[in-house]
A and B are shown apart, each in its own frame.
Chain A
Amino acid sequence: MSVPGRVVSISGLTKSFKTGVTALQEIDLDIRPGEFVSLIGPSGCGKSTLLRIVGDLVQPTSGTVLVNGKTAHRARLDHDYGIVFQDSVLYDWRTVSRNVSLPLEMLGWSRARRKERVREMLELVELTGFESNRPWQLSGGMQQRVSIARALSFDPALLLMDEPFGALDEMTRERLNMELLRIWEKAASTIVFVTHSIPEAVFLSTRVVVMSARPGRIADVVAVDLPQPRGAETREQPRFFELVTAVREALAAGGRGQPAPTLPAGTEERY
């Protein structure tokens, strides 16, 4: 039941753990090419689990997940997505450039091709000149940029990001938000972004998926119609505040334990 023109297609997805806790219940979500979708919700709503199920790092209990029209498992083996974690997960024993080229090595790229791509990627994340540094010699923000370069190095159709800027200070975070938008435009990829920051979700996304906890469900989907390209002034527009308020209210509604609105399949397309 592959839906054409969908990078990610989730239907009827449920995940319960052995302990009996239902982490995710009846999730339906389609993501089209070029979208920037944020998953936001209280802690324990299963947003990170959902991301990992898309990446085939966690197995769902029931339901189907298609990535690029293939099973999530096939997509993982085909290197259809890159992933960025909250901690940068760089290997101390590799230099910055060898960290970026890690997935390329695993794909069997030639040395010359790897070198050229690493140069491009470090230029993209503005880390030219740090090629031979060790990860622990970089600041947290720089480490996360290396991690993004690594995730994008093999041109995946999809970028999965699990609270990538959660451990950074506010100033670094806003700067990296801008950079991420620039990279998103340049790389023309699709991004699924987990966060717990409302302004961050609104600023970055084309759509914000609001989730409720216990069990994790999609409580609401807010389409973000802020104009592209976005910049520092975006955060000052009245529409930005309206959308932040809309997401906050959706979160509060979900958080009060109200029954999640029953969403017909494809609801998120109502915008």
Chain B
Amino acid sequence: MEPVPPGVVRAIGGRFVDWLPALAVFALGLALWQGLTTAFNVQTFLLPKPTDIATAFWNDRGTLWDYGLYTLKEAAGGFAMGCSAGILVALLLARFRGLGLALLPFAIAANAIPIIAFAPITNNWFGLLNPVSKMVIAAVLCFFPTMINTLRGLTSVHPSSIELMRSYGGGELAVFRRVRIPNALPFMFTGLKVSAVLSMIGAIVGEYFGGPTNALGVSILNDSQLFDFPRAWAGIMLASAFGIAFYAAVSVAERLTTSWHPSARTFRSE
């Protein structure tokens, strides 16, 4: 629900030098983790050693990967449903401003509802084993950030831009097609990137309240109940990695479609 700062946006696909500190922190953090868990003999149920997690993942890579893909599919389905609904509603609210202004406070309040608490209910609606039950939770999580950001993009248009369109005799349709929608794209992508991460979390949480055994969330839960913590952590890391990959994929799509935006800062060398 949070616009990611330009620094982070630029970090995706930025220059290698920009990544150096992050890589250094990664190496240092990993070494510290390994060193401290070994030195202080931290119990596995608190935090397993990175090497143990890596081993657990490697031993079960095929299975865990398939589980991850299953959950990613649920997330992607929910993402597609929630984001398209969000964009459609944003278009409607931008077209009918009075309606939008009246309903917006309710949308904001609704956004404060802990949607995740509804996971048991969607499980009940669609059945525990039906992936749609997880997709719906992911979709509801994706709906708000996408809708609110897109609406903001559609409406934060300079008044003169609209006057220009009207000076050409353009109507509401022309204003949407040539001004509002292009203007909304960067805003929409901010929402989509947040949604990408949320959809993965939504799918996992949905699975926590019950799901097929070949889902990553169910696997993590089972592993931790069976005290196989390295494998549980391997699953958690994989879920996180899939979330980041989804985010990165949306970022790439953003770069391709909104390269014109000043934040892309691709000055020609002159």
Contacts and interface: CB of A to CB of B under 8 A. Distances in A.
Q: Quick check: do A and B touch in the complex, using CB within 8 A?
A: yes
Interface of A: 52, 55-57, 76-79, 81-83, 85, 87, 89, 91-95, 102-103, 106-107, 133-134, 136-137
Contacts of A94: 260
Nearest to B171: A77
A79 B169 contact: yes
Interface string B146-186: 00000000000010110110111110001000110011010
Interface stretch (B35-43, B75-83, B135-143, B261-269): B261-269
- Interface majority SS (helix, strand, loop, mixed), chain A: loop
Nearest to B258: A93
Interface of B: 158, 160-161, 163-164, 166-170, 174, 178-179, 182-183, 185, 258, 260-262, 267-268
Contacts of B158: 87, 89
A81 B167 CA distance: 8
A160 to B, nearest CB: 8
A133 B262 contact: no
Contacts of B178: 91, 102, 106
A76 B182 contact: no
Given A106-B168, A106-B174, A85 B160 contact: yes
Contacts of B166: 56-57, 76
B169 A91 contact: no
Nearest to A86: B160
Contacts of B260: 92-95, 134
B167 A57 contact: yes
Nearest to B174: A106
A87 B262 contact: no
Nearest to B181: A93
Contacts of A93: 182-183, 185, 258, 260-261
Given A87-B158, A106-B174, A76 B262 contact: no
B6 to A, nearest CB: 14
B168 A92 contact: no
A79 B179 contact: no
A88 to B, nearest CB: 9
B167 A133 contact: no
A127 B160 CA distance: 23
27 contacts: A56-B166, A57-B166, A57-B167, A76-B167, A77-B169, A79-B168, A81-B167, A82-B167, A83-B164, A85-B163, A85-B164, A87-B158, A89-B160, A89-B164, A91-B161, A91-B178, A91-B179, A91-B182, A92-B260, A93-B182, A93-B258, A102-B178, A103-B168, A106-B170, A106-B178, A107-B168, A133-B268
